[in-house]
Amino acid sequence: MSENCLGLRCQLWRIAPGFSFLIPLLVQTFFLHPCYQNNKEAKFIRLALMPITLYLIISRVNDRYFRPLEDFFHMNFTFVSFSTFHASCLSVQFALFDGSVLPYPKKNLSEKEKPLKEVDVKNDSTATKKYSKKVLQTTTEPLPPIAERIKFMVWLLFSPRGIGTSWAPPSAVTPPRPMMSVKKFLWVNIQKIVISQVAFVTCCAYGFACAQHPRGAFGLINEFIKLPDYLENISSYLISIPFGGASWWAIELLGSLLNVIECVWYQLSPYFLPKSLSPEKFDPTRYPDLFNDPWKKTSIIEFWSKGWHTVFRRNILYFGWKPMVRLFSSRSQETKRLLGIMGAMAFSGVFHEYVLAAASNLDPNIPTAQVFIILGLGMVIEASIERHTGYIVGGTFGRLWLGFMVFFTCRNAVLSWIARGLGSSGVPPVLDWTWHRFFLPFGPLLPQPWL
């Protein structure tokens, strides 16, 4: 066991330089504090640091991954590729951002305007005439303490959904969490950790067993229940169920773990941090659920826009939706909306295709990108039907339509992921799993040398 721990420690030390891009990214985030909102020098610094951040991300891409790749597909794909791509998006957004980070910013800018005051001005040559004149008074205030700006930097960089910012998802997408005590908040999230871990392990056990069987899901089921051969091709469409469920519960598990860690940090840090660096009072309402009942959604549009998680929502809108809308700004609102949908889904496809390829290799058929493009076309069809007929896709038909499109499109993508290591990379057969894979968070994804 000591040798395995040493191997893990060496891996972490080896990949640490690959995350050097965090230094310029942190500086970019620091200069987004509201006190720099109208500061041209701060904007220039953010813009100048963007190419440096992107260069460090691109040039050291191979340094960030656990080696060998064929044994660490799950770790690299899940924890390295996604965070790296997200950091690239943040660097560009922070560099080009021009506005207020907070939805209702306090007037703590370096140049601050005071309310207009009524001042009586007498004209000495005409003593009988008085008039009022509005005078705008401007004062210069000192910057907030460095500790406050550091806290803001940490909060902003590690809030991927942007809850509390001007670009936060609307409440219809991420309903706010009801106010509750810290004790109840911890208890709710601990319950979710347990449920998510059980569901995640269950999905992984079935999915990995299918991935490792020579005949896939059909072969695995056929060992227990004899099935006619003509069902083999049909059963392959079901392979997306366990892996889709695993991704869902993995995100829930990670979110709940981070909620607990952050809540505990808020409670304990005032005991050892200076008062200026201690976080403010913990507010559970700032931690809404990651998912908004996706199983209740009855259309592709509703599922992706209001049901699925919003961790990368701003990236998708910024690099997918908005460029298409601007490119076709002369078109009608409906046309721009449809093109925006396709732009957002195409970017999602490129995003997911990249994080998979970076952790393994590129499939020239780009099946993952195809999934998002086809689902984007499905969303365009739904929007067009509503536009021309007034019928909103939903109900039983909507559920069947959504399920058919997801299962139909995901099959080839999941088979491609399996061919690149999903379910088998560094993982023994399910029957040989030890207790670590059942009880450690994300246990099924951990490579065998670490256990």
Place of tokens 């506005």: 99
Structure confidence by residue, pLDDT tens digits, 140-164? 567 889 999 999 999 998 888 888 8
CA distances from 75 to 127, 282, 362 (A): 83, 31, 17
- pLDDT value of position 99: 87
Domain ranges of the chain: 1-111+143-158
pLDDT tens, N- to C-terminus, the chain (451 residues): 444 544 677 888 889 999 999 999 999 999 999 999 889 999 999 999 999 999 999 999 888 998 888 889 999 998 899 999 999 999 999 999 998 898 864 444 344 444 434 444 444 444 444 433 333 333 456 788 999 999 999 999 888 888 889 998 988 888 888 889 999 999 999 999 999 999 999 999 999 999 998 888 888 888 888 888 778 778 778 888 999 999 999 999 999 999 999 999 999 999 998 888 888 889 998 899 999 999 999 999 999 999 999 999 999 999 999 999 999 998 999 999 999 999 999 999 999 999 999 888 899 999 999 999 999 999 999 999 999 999 999 999 999 999 999 988 999 999 999 999 999 998 999 999 999 999 999 999 998 888 7
**Which pLDDT score is estimated for 81?**
92
pLDDT tens-digit series, residues 346-394: 999 999 999 999 888 899 999 999 999 999 999 999 999 999 999 999 9
SS (H, E, C) the chain: CHHHHHHHHHHHHHHHHHHCCHHHHHHHHHCCCHHHCCCHHHHHHHHHHHHHHHHHHHHCHHHCCCCCHHHCHHHHHHHHHHHHHHHHHHHHHHHHCCCCCCCCCCCCCCEEECCCEEEEEECCCCCCCEEEEEECCEEECCCCCHHHHHHHHHHHHCCCCCCCCCCCCCCCCCCCCCCCCHHHHHHHHHHHHHHHHHHHHHHHHHHHHHHHCCCHHHHHHHCCCCCCCCHHHHHHHHHHHHHHHHHHHHHHHHHHHHHHHHHHHHHHHHHCCCCCCCCCCCCHHHCCCCCCCHHHCCCHHHHHHHHCCCCCHHHHHHHHHHHHHHHCCCCCHHHHHHHHHHHHHHHHHHHHHHHHHHHCCCCCCCHHHHHHHHHHHHHHHHHHHHHHHCCCCCHHHHHHHHHHHHHHHHHHHHHHHHHCCCCCCCCCCHHHCCHHHHHCCCHHHCCHHHC
